A and B are shown apart, each in its own frame.
Chain A
Amino acid sequence: MAKATKTKRASVTVRGPHKMPVHLFVNRQDYELHVEPRRTLLDALRKDLGLTGAKKVCDEGTCGACTVIVDGKPVYSCLTLAIECEEKSIETIEALAQDGKLHALQQAFIEEDAYQCGFCTPGQIMSLKALLDENPNPTLDDVKRAVSGNLCRCGAYPKIFRAGLRAAEILRSKKGA
């Protein structure tokens, strides 16, 4: 291997290990938290901001209940460090209903009866929200793929798929109206 050329070392930013201020932009609102670097985004949302919509189940990337949208993409908040989300836009299930009116996805989940215990639902809906934001005309396969990282132990999948498609229809008809 070749020798790398050395240049002058620029400055590094070191934060933690103790609590420090972390700025998050959640559901179009700024927050300042005091947390350690090890704080996951999920714990920051649930414990520091009281936003308990995202659920903590496996805490290791194997269930999807903690799904939130970061900069337009669905991610697992249990495997995301809060400190690494500064200057990003975070969306959680709490932002979906506006002025007391349910989001099309929430409405469709009710109409299609797309849950039993409801524990996976916020995650399912956030995955579908990211899909519909990007693709207003999804096929059944697109919907299936979008929630393929969200387990439902109650097995409500067929209804979740239908709810995804129905929400797309609702959104399209609203746009057309």
Chain B
Amino acid sequence: MRNFEHITPPDLESAVDLLSERGTKSIAGGTDLLPEMKSRLRSPRRLVNLKALEELRYLKHNARKGFQIGALTTLAEIESNELIREKIPILAQAASVAASPQLRNMGTIGGNLCQSVRCWYYRAPEFKCWLKGGDTCYAIEGENKFHAILESSPCCAVHPSDLAPALMALGASVHITGTDEEGTVSLEEFFVRPKASNRQMTILGANELITEVQVPMLDGDSSGIYLKAMDRKVWAFALVSVAVQVSWDKERVKGARIVLGGVAPIPWRVPAAEEIVRDQAITEEIATSASEAALEGAQPLRDNGYKIALAKALVKRALMTLAERAKK
């Protein structure tokens, strides 16, 4: 790791001011950034320590606004928070299956949403892949077992976050603060497919920070589930994950939000599948056709065809599980 200046900002405003200077990076838990620095994928000259901003570490809830979660809140705090477990268990589930206990004690929700992709070509310093400013996404023709089956061009890396699909299913937004602007955007606006002029998976500018994640109040009777398929039981990134949040009118679906992880460069919401379950009591048949609709247009690369069957099975299982619970 190259050496750097370590900066403790007194407040948020100075933090974003500092980030406006080239070669400056923010560090929260450091669980993603430090490995990148060790392998010299990034060599910032200055690190701005967000952990000094105690004012960004909070978890609030009220009946009007729902949840407001400060960006510095750790995954462990989210996983163990009683109110989150009771009111939006889908988020506690997603946090509890991310990474490992140690990493959850360190990693923050803000860093989780802004983490880099795990694609091995991206992570290997010797490949100057498209995402790092090169010409080629080596994974499209190369080793792509863990890569995208949807929207896989110009870069087929998938966004690795477990929290993002769950938060998107909850209709969450992020509050962003920059040097002269601030505002709130939905996660659907926050995550964007990378393009030549913006080679990253978010709209975040170099001198902008997420300060808060907001989860709106849910409609009366609502339930959700996060399912994650992994190579091993724990401490692995999702091969595929699915987050489903349903609002109910007794046993009928009033509305559903269905989001897939591990299939596209960004958390992938599937409106076609949501449409199929709307106003229905979920039967096996309906769950099956929703799962088919969710994967419509999926195009496997050489090594990741298994993801299609896996994703369909997870969507179906998630819907059936929620329907079973709704009957009780």
Which segment of B95-103, B250-258, B320-328 sits at the interface? B95-103
A73 to B29, CA, bound (A): 13
Distance between Cα atoms of A140 and B106 in the complex (Å):
24
A14 CB-CB contact with B under 8 Å: yes
Q: Please, which residue of chain B has its CB at the minimum distance from the CB of A37?
A: B6
- Per the 8 Å Cβ criterion, residues 123-141 of A in contact with B are 127
| Cross-chain contact of A11 among B10, B45, B101, B102 (Cβ < 8 A) | B10
Q: Say whether B280 faces chain A, with CB atoms less than 8 Å apart.
A: no
Interface string of A135-168 (1 = CB under 8 A from B): 0000000000110110000000000000000000
Q: Are B6 and A2 touching (Cβ within 8 A)?
A: no
Instruction: Known contacts A4-B182, A80-B30, A149-B100; decide if A13 and B7 are in contact (CB<8 Å).
Output: yes
Are A1 and B183 within 8 A (Cβ)?
A: yes
Most chain B beta carbons < 10 A, residue from A64, A83, A84? A84
Tell me the A64-101 residues at the B interface (CB within 8 Å). 64, 67, 73-76, 79-81, 83-84
Enumerate chain A residues within 8 angstroms of B181, measured Cβ to Cβ.
Answer: 1-4
| Contacts from B to A (Cβ < 8 Å) | 1-11, 13-14, 17-18, 27, 30-31, 34-35, 37-39, 45, 47, 49, 51, 76, 99-103, 105-106, 176-183, 234-235
A66 nearest CB across to chain B (Å)? 9
Contact A15 B5, beta carbon cutoff 8 Å:
yes
Shortest distance between the CB of B1 and any CB in chain A (Å): 5
Contact yes or no, A15 B6, CB < 8 A: yes
Does A79 lie within 8 Å of B30, measured CB to CB?
yes
Question: B177 to chain A: which residues have CB within 8 Å?
Answer: 4
Question: If the complex has contacts A12-B9, A74-B105, are A37 and B4 also in contact, measured as CB distance less than 8 A?
Answer: yes
Choose among B5, B38, B100, B105 the residue that contacts A59 (Cβ–Cβ < 8 A).
B38
Q: Which residues of B contact A13 (CB under 8 A)?
A: 7-8, 10
Q: Tell me which residues across on chain B come within 8 A of A75, comparing CB atoms.
A: 102, 105-106
Contact of A17 among B3, B76, B102 (CB under 8 A): B3
- Expressed in whole angstroms, the Cα–Cα distance for A146 and B181 within the complex equals 42
Q: Tell me which of A3, A17, A40, A127 contacts B5 (CB under 8 A).
A: A17
Could you list 14 examples of A-B contacts with CB < 8 Å?
A1-B178, A2-B183, A4-B180, A6-B13, A10-B10, A12-B10, A15-B5, A17-B4, A36-B3, A40-B34, A59-B38, A61-B31, A61-B102, A79-B31
Distance between Cα atoms of A61 and B35 in the complex (Å): 8
- Chain A residues near B234 (CB, 8 Å)? 148-149
Q: A174 — which chain B residues lie within 8 A by C-beta?
A: none
CA distance A6 to B182 in the complex (A): 12
User: In the complex, what distance in Å separates the CA atom of A80 from the CA atom of B1?
Assistant: 13
Residue from A15, A37, A83, A127 with most neighbouring chain B CB atoms (10 Å): A37
Q: Are A14 and B102 in contact (CB under 8 A)?
A: no
Residues of A within 8 A of B101 (CB): 74, 127, 145-146, 148-149
